[in-house]
Amino acid sequence: MRICYIVAMVAEAQPFIERYGIRKVEGFFAPLPCELYEGEVNNVTLNVVLNGQQQGSDLVGCEAAAVATLSAIQRLHPDIVVNSGTCGAFREKGADIAEVYIGNGVMFHDRRVPGDDAWGTQSLGNYPVWEGSPALAKALELKMGKVTTGSSLDMQPCDLEMIQKHGGELKDMEGAAVGFVCSLFKTPILYVKSVTDLCDSGAETFEEFSRNLHKACEALKTANEQVIDYLTKRVNW
């Protein structure tokens, strides 16, 4: 069995890379910027694929996430992909900083394509998540929420309107892109997201994100330890 994590930022991945002592495989995806880490947990192969960096900065966003996911699935053939990272959320929906959620759906919130129903449906995404997500969330006592993805860290009024219309609860920059690629290959995908900023707090998004990033990533590490234990011991693949 092989579990493959797709992660955008080094800060999001480093705590549990260190926790499991998994090693970097140099040049595996060259010339692409994606980076591969590999190890073994409970007799299961564990991969972490980072989007990579350019000019010393993490490659965040949909394009980099799609490239990383496509490369990982084609080269590694995982049994399940886990998109793990940080996100924004909403205080009015009960969210708090460093709270970890399991995704129960995923869509884009910043794609406004006029036209017939097919174009509209395609632009939203609404890709499937792993069918075992509810059972995992229940067993680990984690909340569930719908992930919505956009290409910007901040949120415009039209983005908020789309999120509210479709019941979004968690706002990120990669999830739906990862889900799109997984849907093409029919690879199960699990979302594990930790809150860095509250979209309705009135605070400036980047400042709140930066202030809470470490705390959210530590919570993410703890949750992922539980997730990996669950996937490797309690799921019959």
% of the chain surpassing 70 pLDDT: 95
Distance CA 49, CA 84 (A): 11
197 is annotated as an active-site residue: yes
Region 84-97 average pLDDT: 94
Mean pLDDT over all residues of the chain? 91
Contact in structure between 171 and 87 (CB atoms under 8 Å): yes
pTM to 2 decimal places: 0.93
Domain ranges of the chain: 2-233
pLDDT single digits (tens) 208-228: 889 999 999 999 999 999 999
pLDDT single digits (tens) 149-206: 998 877 777 788 888 888 899 999 999 999 999 999 999 999 999 999 998 888 788 8
Please give the residue that has the higher pLDDT: either 114 or 22.
22
Region 132-147 average pLDDT: 97
Which of 12, 58, 169, 208 is labelled catalytic? 12
Contact in structure between 102 and 190 (CB atoms under 8 Å): yes
Q: Of the candidates 36, 37, 87, 41, which has an alpha carbon nearest to the alpha carbon of residue 60?
A: 87
12 is annotated as an active-site residue: yes
* pLDDT of 121 above 80: no
Question: 139-153 burial, b for 16+ CB within 10 Å, e for fewer?
Answer: eeebbbbbbbbbeeb
Q: Which CATH superfamily is domain 2-233 in?
A: Nucleoside phosphorylase domain (3.40.50.1580)
Region 109-136 average pLDDT: 79
Contacts of 84 (CB under 8 A, 6+ apart): 5, 6, 7, 12, 13, 191, 192, 193, 220, 224
Which of 169, 174, 197, 208 is labelled catalytic? 197
